[in-house]
Amino acid sequence: MGAEIISGTEMAREIRGEVAERVTAMRSADGKTPGLATVLVGSDPASSTYVRMKNRAAAEVGIRSRQVDLPESISHEELLGWVEGLNADPEVDGILVQLPLPDQIREDEILEAVHPAKDVDGFHPVNVGRLVSGSTDVLAPCTPRGIIELLMRSGHDPAGRHVVMVGRSNIVGKPMASLLLRRGRGGDATVTIAHSRTANLAEITRLGDILIVAVGRPGVVTADMVRPGAVVIDVGVNRVDDADSEKGYRLVGDVDFEGVRGVASAITPVPGGVGPMTIAMLLSNTVDAAQTGRGGDGE
């Protein structure tokens, strides 16, 4: 029998419904509408699409969204000025600066300029520090938060399980490990992090009751690397050539889906797994930021 397919698309719809209810409740309680500002520098097609999707999703749940389009040639100081303006704007509860930024911009400084209380991406060092310290009163990065919801809502509570995380990026791998290590809901896991320098990767991945893969290479995890009955979460989004597709390519994850679904007990598809959850959690973070002025994903 093949693995259970965990649908992020369905779960994200459920979460967006819950966020919409929170927005309505907030508006009737104190007349406040949460606001999200997205900052797009330049016109990279992928970044433009992501930002458009985020704004559309925000509007659908009743969040007031504002897209700030800035030229590719903007100076570092000018961009800082924009971020500071949004920090001071009372109608903006959440600020998202779409990455990557052009070479003349010092990305770290821009992310640090976003006020921690408005940092709905969870990338500000204050929020990173709070998360690592185990705080639940924190704006945590959207993709790992989405994965925790995927696990919890599909009945795969990581508490007490061994989770192997492949990938150590600041966006996925490291915050994922911090969330899993926290005490309480969605946490209390035993965590191993693997990366490109890990020796005997397959031996490590086979230890995982839950295996999360965020590498950015198609087929990096094959069936022989997965413990029978494991839950597999595929974060990767990769374009591979496909002459049969209208676009000439299709999207695949990092996991050899067809092979691994014969070994795992549950697996997320790509597309339709982690991706939709990331956007749903951005909306949730925006309402958290509007409600508490500081964020908080705890119960």
Q: Which residues are catalytic?
A: 54, 98, 121
Nearest to 120 by CA among 141, 134, 135: 141
Q: Say how far apart CA 46 and CA 107 lie, in whole Å.
A: 18
Residue carrying the six token digits 């069936």: 223
36 binds ligand NDP (CB under 6 A): no
Residue carrying the six token digits 């990938």: 167
Total binding residues toward ligand NDP, as defined by CB under 6 A: 26
Select the span of 11-19, 35-43, 131-139, 161-169 touching ligand NDP (CB under 6 A).
161-169
Least distance CB 81 / ligand NDP (angstroms): 28
- Establish whether the linkage from the previous residue to 218 is cis, with ω within 30° of 0: no
70 binds ligand NDP (CB under 6 A): no
218 binds ligand NDP (CB under 6 A): no
9 binds ligand NDP (CB under 6 A): no
Least distance CB 179 / ligand NDP (angstroms): 14
Nearest to ligand NDP of 65, 278 (CB atom): 278
Cβ burial, residue 80 (10 Å; 0-12/13-18/19+): middle
- Judged by CB under 6 A, which of 24, 104, 196, 292 binds ligand NDP? 196
278 binds ligand NDP (CB under 6 A): yes
| Sign (positive or negative) of CA dihedral 153, 212, 283, 140 | positive
- Judged by CB under 6 A, which of 94, 144, 236, 295 binds ligand NDP? 236
Q: Say how far apart CA 151 and CA 274 lie, in whole Å.
A: 11
Q: 3-state DSSP call for residue 70?
A: strand
How many CA atoms lie less than 13 Å away from 132 in the CB half-sphere? 10
Cβ contact 165:198 at 8 Å: no
275 binds ligand NDP (CB under 6 A): yes
83 binds ligand NDP (CB under 6 A): no
Nearest to ligand NDP of 50, 82 (CB atom): 50
Cβ burial, residue 160 (10 Å; 0-12/13-18/19+): exposed
Q: Where are the beta strands (DSSP E) in 143-230?
A: 162-166, 190-194, 210-213
Strand 35-41 and strand 162-166: the pairing is unpaired
272 binds ligand NDP (CB under 6 A): no
284 binds ligand NDP (CB under 6 A): no
Q: Under 8 Å CB-to-CB from 238, ≥6 apart: which residues? A: 216, 217, 218, 251, 252, 253, 254
Q: 3-state DSSP call for residue 266?
A: strand
189 binds ligand NDP (CB under 6 A): no
- Judged by CB under 6 A, which of 23, 41, 63, 171 binds ligand NDP? 171
Interaction residues for ligand NDP, span 110-149 (CB under 6 A) = 143
62 binds ligand NDP (CB under 6 A): no
Nearest to ligand NDP of 65, 143 (CB atom): 143
Nearest to ligand NDP of 42, 219 (CB atom): 219
Select the span of 37-45, 56-64, 85-93, 216-224 touching ligand NDP (CB under 6 A).
216-224
Question: What does the binding site for ligand NDP look like in residue numbers (CB under 6 A)?
Answer: 143, 166-169, 171-173, 194-198, 201, 214-217, 220, 235-238, 274-275, 278
